[in-house]
Structure 1
Amino acid sequence: MTDWDVHHLPRAEDRTFLVTGGNAGIGYFVAEQLAGTGATVILGSRNAAKAESAMSSIRSHVPDARLAHLRLDLADLSSIKSSVDALETDRIDAVVCNAGVLLEEPPRRETAEGHELTFATNHLGHFALVHRLMPLLEAAEAGRVVTTGSFVGKSAELDLDDLHSERDYQPKRTYSRSKQAQMLFAFEFDRRLRAAGSTVLSVVDHPGGALDSLTPARPTVQPAPGGRRFPAGLLLQGKEAGAWPAVRAVLDPAVRGGEMFGPRVFGLRGEPRLEPIRGKLADTGLAARLWTASVELTGVDPASNL
């Protein structure tokens, strides 16, 4: 891999990137950093007011930022096609599948289509979104699908017989399973892209341990840090740094499909580096079965037209 400096990113004036959940959290900082390269950055968010606040904040740090908002509700599968149809661009150079939900406590919630909310938003919504975006990604010189997983997703125990957590719903466990599903999808997608000879790449990133208390303030988006910064700052990092692996996965010309990027220090903090793919994430059989289940649940197949 090439040397990578998170503070001196390559220019990308002629490129267009879509960041889901770009109005808050790590997604906001991904959008802000990508905007600093001169690229056009589209913030995918279901809340127009929050997207406007995020774009205003980005412009305060990147005065010449080229930004747009796409109304996008990943929990509503029936709305995703019309959202993508509303995009005013002839190509997407990269989509960062970052948006997600983590419910703090029960009860279990379902979408209008009857899917468990966390799994539906984090995995199924992005699965359907990528399907709809494929013509725009293939229109780019080398489109990229960058899927933001999670450190906890590496060790989750995904239950293909209970993807909607009907038997044993626990919010944090359901979240970790949904993130593992996202990562498995991304690796399986790249295998299918390579087999088809596609120019599109599928790459995984994860932010490590990213805490609000270590995150720089963005007044209309991210409150000023509160709470104790020590000793958490020795092992973890803020959300600005948590965005670095995704930004590298989007911009680094040396990136190859099927790779994963995470923080350098124990996978928890530091500059982004290439990580080995082990354990459940390397289980191609599990990933293929999840793909089949995802097609059945969404009614779409991102690899169908390759």
Structure 2
Amino acid sequence: MNVLVTGGNAGIGYFTAEQLAEAGATVVLGSRSQAKAETAAASIRARVPGAVVHHTPLDLSDLPSLKSSVDGLEPLDAVVFNAGIARDETSRLVSSDGHELMFATNHLGHFALTYWLAPLLTGARIITVGSFAARSERLDLADLQSTEDYDQKRAYGRSKLAQMSFGFELDRRLRAARSNAMSVVVHPGGALDSLTPSRPGVHTRPASTRIAGLLLHGKDDGARPAVHAALDPDVEGGQLWGPRQFGLRGKPHLEKPHAHMTDEQTAKVLWDKSCELTGLDLGEVLGL
């Protein structure tokens, strides 16, 4: 089994890659930093004897670079769209292409990457890692990039909602085209660094609290819905998987997505605008 994990060098992406390697998958870490990817790969190999881990350079905020990121990759059985950024700064920043940075990285980058990966995704599982933050947000289709009244938390939530909306719409289109590929959406729940086990060179566990441990979990457990979506033979396209207990912690379970996440009209507009913003006709390349 061959799996690409975007942002696989740190956080939930790292633990997704580690757990997939434990299951016997060949894992490709998509990362901007070769040094960080090599450190993550060494950590995985130290814990999983015989693990096969590779690296491909990947900067989702730089759309023109993504074509070269897939060069040399083998056909994929699954891809986990995990990479993303959440900014604390209140100022609005843009990518090198002029797109709002979180929207560019979290949504547009994965949308464009799907285009370039298309020849490698026959029969693959395309897994989008969303966020609990998307539950309380709604997309502003007239201002997807938050040019008006910018708020960093809202912009982050909307970027994750855009990812999830895309994941559900992608599966609807794959089903309509009778494709063997499927798109599955997951979220990690409440995953904290303080509850995450240490990995030398990758993550050092800070002080924890018992109260947080009762309500939330670590990033190792937060990775499990994505791993489940990649490996479990009973998973179906269009599903949403997250933690069992209040959507915040626990083993993966099947959830019913909120209506605004699966609204078809919103998703169609988002799809068309994403094609326009990236300059890529994803439907055409996937035969949808």
Q: What is residue 183 of structure 1 aligned with on the other side?
A: 164
Please state if 1:147 is matched with 2:144: no
Deviation for aligned residue 1:165: 0.9
Q: What is residue 20 of structure 2 aligned with on the other side?
A: 34
* 3-state DSSP of counterpart to 1:19: strand
Distance 1:302 1:67 in 2: 29
Distance 1:201 1:155 in 2: 26
Distance 1:245 1:32 in 2: 14
Query: Match of 1:56, as an amino acid?
Result: A
* 3-state DSSP of counterpart to 2:282: coil
Distance 1:224 1:205 in 2: 25
Q: What is residue 222 of structure 2 aligned with on the other side?
A: 242
Q: What is residue 108 of structure 2 aligned with on the other side?
A: 124
Distance 1:205 1:156 in 2: 17
Q: What is residue 12 of structure 1 aligned with on the other side?
A: none
The answer on whether the counterparts of 2:131 and 2:187 sit within 8 Å (CA) in structure 1 is yes
Which among 85, 91, 112 is matched to residue 96 of structure 2? Answer: 112
Please state if 1:93 is matched with 2:74: no
Please state if 1:274 is matched with 2:254: yes
The answer on whether the counterparts of 1:212 and 1:239 sit within 8 Å (CA) in structure 2 is yes
Query: Match of 1:94, as an amino acid?
Result: A
* 3-state DSSP of counterpart to 1:261: strand
- Count of aligned pairs between the two proteins: 286
The answer on whether the counterparts of 1:155 and 1:280 sit within 8 Å (CA) in structure 2 is no
Query: Match of 1:176, as an amino acid?
Result: G
Distance 1:282 1:16 in 2: 29
The answer on whether the counterparts of 1:156 and 1:180 sit within 8 Å (CA) in structure 2 is yes
Pairwise mapping of residues 284-303 of structure 1 onto structure 2 (< 5 A)?
Answer: 284-303=264-283
Distance 1:270 1:28 in 2: 19
Deviation for aligned residue 1:302: 2.5
Deviations 1:46-76 (A, max 9, x none): 1101001100111111121100000011000
The answer on whether the counterparts of 2:169 and 2:262 sit within 8 Å (CA) in structure 1 is no
Which among 18, 40, 48 is matched to residue 54 of structure 1? Answer: 40
Q: Are residues 168 and 86 of structure 1, via their aligned partners in 2, closer, same or farther at CA, if it must alter by over 3 Å?
A: farther
The answer on whether the counterparts of 1:193 and 1:303 sit within 8 Å (CA) in structure 2 is no
Q: What is residue 172 of structure 1 aligned with on the other side?
A: 153
The answer on whether the counterparts of 2:124 and 2:180 sit within 8 Å (CA) in structure 1 is yes
Query: Match of 1:204, as an amino acid?
Result: V
* 3-state DSSP of counterpart to 1:85: coil
Distance 1:219 1:229 in 2: 22
Distance 2:90 2:135 in 1: 23
Query: Match of 1:162, as an amino acid?
Result: D
Which among 133, 136, 147 is matched to residue 120 of structure 2? Answer: 136
Q: What is residue 6 of structure 1 aligned with on the other side?
A: none
* 3-state DSSP of counterpart to 2:161: helix
Distance 1:168 1:229 in 2: 36
Distance 1:184 1:267 in 2: 18
Which among 233, 245, 248 is matched to residue 213 of structure 2? Answer: 233
Q: What is residue 74 of structure 1 aligned with on the other side?
A: 60
Query: Match of 1:188, as an amino acid?
Result: E
Q: What is residue 237 of structure 2 aligned with on the other side?
A: 257
Distance 1:50 1:158 in 2: 33
The answer on whether the counterparts of 1:216 and 1:240 sit within 8 Å (CA) in structure 2 is yes
Query: Match of 2:191, as an amino acid?
Result: A
Deviation for aligned residue 1:154: 2.1
Distance 1:277 1:171 in 2: 24
Query: Match of 1:197, as an amino acid?
Result: R
The answer on whether the counterparts of 1:75 and 1:111 sit within 8 Å (CA) in structure 2 is yes
Deviations 1:261-295 (A, max 9, x none): 00000000000001002221121111111111101
Deviation for aligned residue 1:173: 1.1
Which runs of no fewer than 5 residues in structure 1 stay unpaired? 1-14
- Which 10-residue stretch deviates more, 167-176 or 209-218? 167-176
Deviations 1:16-58 (A, max 9, x none): 0000000000000000000011111000001101001100111
Identity in percent: 59
Which runs of no fewer than 5 residues in structure 2 stay unpaired? none
The answer on whether the counterparts of 1:216 and 1:225 sit within 8 Å (CA) in structure 2 is no
TM-score, normalised on structure 1? 0.92
Distance 2:146 2:176 in 1: 33
Q: What is residue 142 of structure 2 aligned with on the other side?
A: 161
Distance 2:72 2:106 in 1: 22
Distance 1:301 1:273 in 2: 34
Distance 2:43 2:150 in 1: 37
